[in-house]
Amino acid sequence: MNCIYCGKSAGFFQRTHPECAQIHENGKQQIFSLASSMPSPQLSLDEIQGKIRSIAAALHISETEQHRLILNGWVTAVDKVLAEDPPGNDEVQKLMTAVTQFASSANDMSAGGGAFSRLMKYAAILLVTNGIIPKFASMNLPINLEKGGTVVWTFVNCEYIMDKTTRKYVSSSHGVSVRLMRGVYYRRSSFTGKPVEKTERVRVDSGSLGVTDKHLYFVGKAKSFRLPYTKITSFEPFNNGIGIFRDTKNAKPEIFVTQDGWFTYNLVTNLAKL
């Protein structure tokens, strides 16, 4: 049989030469290393793409294998960059550009174990803090988007929670009891009741929270509303969401559970400042 890599005879029942197989494996490692070096300023994305194609053609590395290696390398690069404190702006922008440039090679960047979503979130924060409205999101919600508004992010499966106060009366009595007859007493005052209030957080609805440059849109099964940032007096961060207080008398906290409190709080508070 002939070697699948060099085309020369590999002997009976052998598909490859050991040395050819090793060269092939080394080539795959080179492609992975090139993909994971995307944020580096030493090579442009065009140069990286050209080197990958040359290696793949010379060592018979299939497109499917290229897809896997490029995606794994890109995910490794994202993890490394986002682990920095703070992540480098140029590196983040280069990785975002790579999503478009290598889309056909990396197939589906969203398959990278959440790396794509994390990079998109940081890129959104980066843009907003620099006064730029991100325009890479879409909002598939049945809403009447305000003219001129720009969709920044959409949170699905979002719970809407509010503080609700309930009041009940607990009976009490005062005064002196006077015995009228055996087993019967008369109290010289009326029975009264005092109000007891209890505040608890209740799930009002669940749905989608759309974030634009000027408003929050919530669309649920029972409630839907649009809330401009100018009508919000304060924000409260939570591990899994964000709380707001409206500019109304006796306002109570309203909480949106988005499962990513850090991102939600930083995104919304910075948009409200623009």
Q: Which of 9-13, 49-53, 200-204, 224-228 has the lowest mean pLDDT?
A: 9-13
Domain for residue 170, yes or no?
A: no
Is 105 within 8 Å of 99 (Cβ atoms)?
no
Q: Residue 214, Cα to own-chain centre: how many angstroms?
A: 20
Residue 4 confidence (pLDDT): 61
Pair (83, 158) in one structural domain: no
How many domains are contained in the chain? 2
User: Cα(265)–Cα(254) distance, rounded to whole angstroms?
Assistant: 14
User: Cα(118)–Cα(157) distance, rounded to whole angstroms?
Assistant: 18
Q: Which of 244, 252, 179 is nearest to 216 (CA)?
A: 244
Domain for residue 140, yes or no?
A: no
Residue 5 confidence (pLDDT): 67
Pair (216, 104) in one structural domain: no
Domain for residue 186, yes or no?
A: no
Joined together, the tokens standing for residue 13 give 């029942």
Domain for residue 54, yes or no?
A: yes
Q: Which domain holds residue 243?
A: 151-165+200-273
Pair (41, 109) in one structural domain: yes
Domain for residue 69, yes or no?
A: yes
Domain for residue 213, yes or no?
A: yes
Q: How confident is the model at residue 117 (pLDDT cuts 50, 70, 90)?
A: confident
Joined together, the tokens standing for residue 14 give 């052998």
Mean pLDDT throughout 49-57? 93
Domain for residue 1, yes or no?
A: no
Domain for residue 177, yes or no?
A: no
- Using a cut of 0.75, tell me whether the model's pTM lies above it: no
Q: Which of 148, 127, 126, 152 is nearest to 139 (CA)?
A: 152
Q: Which of 26-40, 53-67, 109-123 has the lowest mean pLDDT?
A: 109-123
Q: What angle do CA 132, 85, 44 make, to 5 degrees?
A: 65
pLDDT tens-digit series, residues 186-223:
555 555 566 777 778 899 999 999 999 999 999 999 99
Pair (118, 156) in one structural domain: no
Joined together, the tokens standing for residue 264 give 């939600």
User: Cα(244)–Cα(234) distance, rounded to whole angstroms?
Assistant: 6
Pair (122, 236) in one structural domain: no
Pair (120, 28) in one structural domain: yes
Residue 100 confidence (pLDDT): 82
Question: What CATH number is attached to the domain comprising 256?
Answer: 2.30.29.30
**152, amino acid identity:** V
